[in-house]
Structure 1
Amino acid sequence: MSNPISYTTEEIANLLKVSKLTVYDLIKKGELPSYRVGKQMRVDAEDLESYKQRAKGVARASKPIEAYPLLPAASPILTSGARPIIITGQDISLDILARHIERNVSGVRPLRAYSGSMDSLIAMYRGESDIVSTHLLDGDSGEYNLPYIRRVLVSSSYVVVNLLTRWAGMFVQKGNPLNLNSWADLSQPGLKIVNREKGSGARVLLDEQLRLHSIQASELTGYDSEASNHIGVASKVASGEVNVGVGIEKAASIVSNVDFIPLIQERYDLVLMKKPENLHWIEAIIAILQSEDFQNELLAIGGYDLSLTGQLLYES
């Protein structure tokens, strides 16, 4: 007997821990069969399970990526000799970059993996990813990313290029009833928080700010409660389940009934593993980042500072 359950695109995105844009892209490519019920797109549970099994097949055929189970299903490009390159991270800008790579860079097929900054760097060290995104604050130096990259990618050859800059800070309930305006305000008694998973940039940002402001994590109710993405954190704040969470401005613009307190501009960088066989697509990707077409697409979304986009920050 067939499974009668079906899902909306939003439910699919939550189940797979991807953006709704990625779900729509899978539907558009025919990799995830769908149908309309009124104005709403739906996907049957059986079709979702079939997609996941195909995706697992692609993952087994390439390098093992234990932290990233969500890879696109097989396509004709993969079977025509194009080499898959793994791009890790959760920001929608990475989905846009992947589409530009697919259209403009020959010989490669971008595959998206959704994982936090630290896990992504560790995967790169293990040889399990080719391009990782990272937004990790070193509280002592005030520097983003490079201190962590140097520590993790020991004896590796890589380039670091900026993708974008964006505001990070706190999600608070509409109207900010508890008057939370700084990191120091997290010491306010009785606060309930929702956290991100270990290794994520938002989790590192929170931990560094707690350390710098001499606030014990054990003092925060809900510190061990985790959401897997920025929208999940903002949604829990908006629902009143918690008082505060750490995340990015973009999520606050998507979730209603939540205010955003901007506290730090974080540099969101890409790390590209530098090998002789990678040099042609590294140059092509940097050209994409610097292109007017790519930047205009990000500007249309809003909320990003592109003043450093495409700039080479470090090369080992």
Structure 2
Amino acid sequence: MSSDVSYTTEEIAKMLKISKLTVYDLIKKGELPSYRVGKQMRVDAADFEAYKQRAKGMQTAAAQTVTASVPAAERSHSGTGAAPGSMRPLVITGQDISLDILVKYMEKGVSGIRPLREYVGSLDSLISMYHGESDIVSTHLLDGDTGEYNIPYIRKLLVGSSYMVVNLLSRNAGLYVGKGNPLGLKSWADLSRPGLRFMNREKGSGARVLLDEQLRLHGIKPQQLSGYEQEQTNHIGVAAKVASGEADVGVGIEKAAAIVGQVDFIPLIEERYDLVMLKTAENMPWIQSLLGILRSDEFQKELQAIAGYDLTRTGEILFET
């Protein structure tokens, strides 16, 4: 088999006839080596074959033992439910550092679960929840017609589902410009200026939706932006392209500008960064634990140490069905 062949988590799940969550669990435990390409996790064919051979060996040994049981990763997704002591994987989508901090608190404060991070944009995250591939979705999607964040999109995409929307934080979004703002950019309308070199985010990200909504509201066609088709998969990547002089302007959040340096930030909107969770009998125990973490002084103090976060509504239930 060619060493150049690799598989996505979806392809692995289909070949092994297991859930995508189980694949994440195998990766998290180190049983299935993986690496990231853009926003996708990939597994080399050789590593996949090696895992299958190890799994076959374990099954053979188990068949010779009366007390044999299936691996924990499979028990947690079997039709009869998780076995005592097994850990249920919870896939948490999004890219903000606040989610990494949240995972740390969940690992020590919520029993029976194994948090797994997936670095996916807001719109793709909601779609993954609709398909049953994620458990906690983070989203910052502006509806330009109402000025409302997230809920208009959630209501359209999660039709028929029972869910809860909880605020994680608010933060400033706007434009990355060169140090000293040499072109004097001040507003969304300035993006219509001829000759600007733009750096975009990928489709499905909250920043891409914010840009497209602002272009629509200001009557600017995407083809007017030189570089609209050039994409980065995170805020830091966009800010870095502006800092290096490869682009004149990009859209993102304030914190990334501070991390990259050599780039200025023009705040234009405060965006609400929310969490979405499906309300099922199985989920409600860890949802209540999660709400306790979000509202705790310890968690909020750690987030307050990071510049650019507004925690006024952190832990507040904004909408539920």
Shorter-chain TM-score tier: 0.7 to 0.9
* Pair 1:62–1:260, CA change in 2 (3 A): farther
User: Where in structure 2 are the equivalents of 1:26-41 lying within 5 Å?
Assistant: none
User: Is residue 118 from structure 1 mapped to residue 123 from structure 2 by the alignment?
Assistant: yes
| Conserved 8 A contact 2:141-2:153 | yes
Deviation, 1:301, is 1.7
| Conserved 8 A contact 2:166-2:275 | yes
- Hey, what's the Cα distance between the residues in 2 that align with 1:165 and 1:222? 29
- Hey, what's the Cα distance between the residues in 2 that align with 1:313 and 1:167? 19
- Hey, what's the Cα distance between the residues in 2 that align with 1:160 and 1:179? 38
Q: Equivalent residue for 2:300?
A: 295
- Hey, what's the Cα distance between the residues in 1 that align with 2:30 and 2:114? 10
User: Where in structure 2 are the equivalents of 1:263-278 lying within 5 Å?
Assistant: 263-278=268-283
* Pair 1:150–1:84, CA change in 2 (3 A): same
- Hey, what's the Cα distance between the residues in 2 that align with 1:256 and 1:237? 10
- Hey, what's the Cα distance between the residues in 2 that align with 1:245 and 1:234? 7
SS in 1 for 2:283: helix
| Conserved 8 A contact 1:133-1:271 | yes
- Hey, what's the Cα distance between the residues in 2 that align with 1:198 and 1:241? 21
User: Where in structure 2 are the equivalents of 1:144-159 lying within 5 Å?
Assistant: 144-159=149-164
Q: Equivalent residue for 1:182?
A: 187
User: Is residue 203 from structure 1 mapped to residue 208 from structure 2 by the alignment?
Assistant: yes
| Conserved 8 A contact 2:25-2:116 | no
Q: Equivalent residue for 1:15?
A: none
Q: Equivalent residue for 1:249?
A: 254
User: Is residue 72 from structure 1 mapped to residue 77 from structure 2 by the alignment?
Assistant: no
- Hey, what's the Cα distance between the residues in 2 that align with 1:86 and 1:131? 6
Deviation, 1:101, is 0.5
User: Is residue 107 from structure 1 mapped to residue 63 from structure 2 by the alignment?
Assistant: no
| Conserved 8 A contact 1:77-1:109 | no
How much is the aligned-residue C-alpha RMSD, in angstroms?
2.3
- Paired positions, count: 260
- What is the letter of the counterpart of residue 63 of structure 1? S
Deviation, 1:311, is 0.2
- What is the letter of the counterpart of residue 252 of structure 2? G
Deviation, 1:64, is 2.2
* Pair 1:257–1:312, CA change in 2 (3 A): same
User: Is residue 282 from structure 1 mapped to residue 238 from structure 2 by the alignment?
Assistant: no
- What is the letter of the counterpart of residue 64 of structure 1? K
* TM-score (norm. length: structure 2): 0.77
Q: Equivalent residue for 2:178?
A: 173
* TM-score (norm. length: structure 1): 0.78
Deviation, 1:300, is 1.1
| Conserved 8 A contact 2:175-2:268 | yes
Deviation, 1:213, is 0.3
- Hey, what's the Cα distance between the residues in 2 that align with 1:167 and 1:174? 18
| Conserved 8 A contact 1:159-1:314 | yes
| Conserved 8 A contact 1:234-1:258 | yes
Larger radius of gyration: 2
- What is the letter of the counterpart of residue 204 of structure 1? V
- Hey, what's the Cα distance between the residues in 1 that align with 2:316 and 2:169? 10
| Conserved 8 A contact 1:118-1:134 | yes
- Larger deviation, residues 165-174 vs 293-302: 293-302
- Hey, what's the Cα distance between the residues in 2 that align with 1:226 and 1:70? 31
- Hey, what's the Cα distance between the residues in 2 that align with 1:313 and 1:150? 13
SS in 2 for 1:277: coil
- Hey, what's the Cα distance between the residues in 1 that align with 2:112 and 2:17? 17
| Conserved 8 A contact 1:237-1:245 | yes
- Hey, what's the Cα distance between the residues in 2 that align with 1:84 and 1:133? 17
Long gaps (5+) in structure 1:
1-51
Deviation, 1:303, is 1.2
* Pair 1:219–1:274, CA change in 2 (3 A): same
User: Where in structure 2 are the equivalents of 1:228-243 lying within 5 Å?
Assistant: 228-243=233-248
Q: Equivalent residue for 1:22?
A: none
Q: Equivalent residue for 2:44?
A: none
* Pair 1:118–1:69, CA change in 2 (3 A): farther
- Hey, what's the Cα distance between the residues in 1 that align with 2:311 and 2:138? 15
